Chain A
Amino acid sequence: MKHTLQQIFRSPNFVIGFAIFMALILFVFIYPLVVPDAPLAIIAQGTFFPPGTYVSVYDSLGSTQYTLNLQNASAARIGSKVSDTDKAAIKDYLVLVGVPEGQIDLTDTQKLLEQWKTNYDPNKNISGVTNAKRNQFIRLNTSLQNANSDQGIVLASQDPTSGALTQTGTVKLTDYVDINQIASAKVLPLGTDNFGRDVLTELVSATKVSLQIGFVAGLIATLIGLTLGLLAGYIGGMLDDIIMFITNLFTVIPSFVLLILISFSIGQDQRGAVTIAVVIGFTSWVWTARAVRSQVISLRNRDHVNLSKLSGHSIVHIILSDILPYIASYVVMAFILQISSGILAEAGLSILGLGPRTTDVPTLGLMMNWAMIYQAHILGKWWAYFPILLDIALITFSLNLMNTGLDQVFNPALRD
Chain B
Amino acid sequence: MKGYRRYFLNKLAWFLVTLIVGFLLNFILPRMMPGDPVALIVSHMAQGQSNASGVQAIYQQYAELFGTNQPMYVQFFIYLKNVARGDFGFSFSQYPRSVADVLSASIWWTICLQFPAIIVGWLVGNTLGALAAYLKGGFDKVLMPLSIFISNLPAFGMAVILMVIFGVNLKWFPTSGGYGFDLIPTLSLQFMWSVIVHYQLPFWSIVLIAIGGQAIGMRSMSIYELNADYVKYSRFLGIKDNKIVMYVFRNAMLPQITGLALSVGTMVGGALVAEIVFSYPGLGSTLLNAVMGQDYPLLSAATLIVTLMVLTANFAIEIIYGFIDPRIKAAQAD
Contact = CB atoms under 8 A, between A and B. Distances in A.
A/B: CB atoms within 8 Å of each other: yes
Interface of A: 248-249, 251-258, 260-262, 264-267, 340, 344, 347-348, 351-354, 368, 372, 377-378, 380, 382, 385, 389, 392-393, 396-397, 399-401, 404, 413-414, 416
Contact of A261 (B30, B152, B223): B30
B156 A377 contact: no
Contact of B223 (A382, A400, A416): A416
B47 interface: no
B311 interface: yes
Contacts of B268: 254
A252 B156 contact: no
Nearest to B309: A254
A368 B276 CA distance: 12
Interface string B293-334: 000100110010011001100100000000000000000000
A254 B266 contact: yes
B184 to A, nearest CB: 24
Contacts of A262: 29
Most buried by A among B154, B268, B307: B154
Nearest to A389: B157
A353 B288 contact: yes
A396 B303 contact: no
Given A264-B30, A264-B296, 6 more contacts: A249-B18, A254-B310, A351-B288, A353-B288, A372-B160, A399-B152
B256 interface: no
Contacts, number: 139
B303 to A, nearest CB: 5
Nearest to A403: B148
Interface residues of B, number: 57
Given A264-B30, A264-B291, A265-B30, A252 B223 contact: no
A392 B161 CA distance: 13
A254 B269 contact: yes
Given A264-B291, A414-B220, A253 B307 contact: yes
A415 to B, nearest CB: 9
Nearest to A379: B168
B149 A253 contact: no
B277 interface: yes
B181 to A, nearest CB: 14
Contacts of B168: 377-378, 380
B91 interface: no
B267 to A, nearest CB: 9
A105 to B, nearest CB: 24
Contacts of B306: 254, 257
Interface in B248-289: 261-262, 265-266, 268-270, 272-273, 276-277, 287-288
Given A348-B273, A382-B164, A393-B149, A253 B291 contact: no
A266 B31 CA distance: 10
Interface stretch (B19-27, B58-66, B98-106): B19-27
A385 B160 contact: yes
B21 A249 contact: yes
A416 B29 contact: no
Contacts of B163: 377-378
Nearest to B169: A380
A257 B307 contact: yes
B292 interface: yes
A256 B266 contact: yes
Contact of B152 (A254, A255, A397): A397
B310 A252 contact: yes
Nearest to B167: A378
B85 to A, nearest CB: 22
Contacts of B292: 353
21 contacts: A252-B262, A252-B311, A253-B22, A255-B269, A256-B265, A257-B306, A264-B30, A265-B30, A267-B33, A344-B154, A347-B154, A348-B269, A348-B273, A352-B288, A353-B292, A377-B168, A378-B168, A378-B175, A389-B153, A400-B151, A400-B152
B224 interface: yes
A313 B21 CA distance: 40
A252 to B, nearest CB: 5
Contacts of A266: 33
Nearest to B290: A264
B18 A253 contact: yes
A378 B279 CA distance: 12
B29 A389 contact: no
A348 B176 CA distance: 19
A352 B277 CA distance: 10
A140 to B, nearest CB: 26
A401 B220 contact: no
B5 interface: no
Given A257-B306, A354-B291, A404-B148, A252 B314 contact: yes
B232 interface: no
B149 to A, nearest CB: 5
Contacts of B26: 257, 261
Contacts of A399: 152
B18 A261 contact: no
B32 interface: yes
Contacts of B40: 267
Nearest to B289: A353
Contact of B303 (A260, A368, A392): A260
A240 to B, nearest CB: 17
A12 B136 CA distance: 17
B29 A261 contact: yes
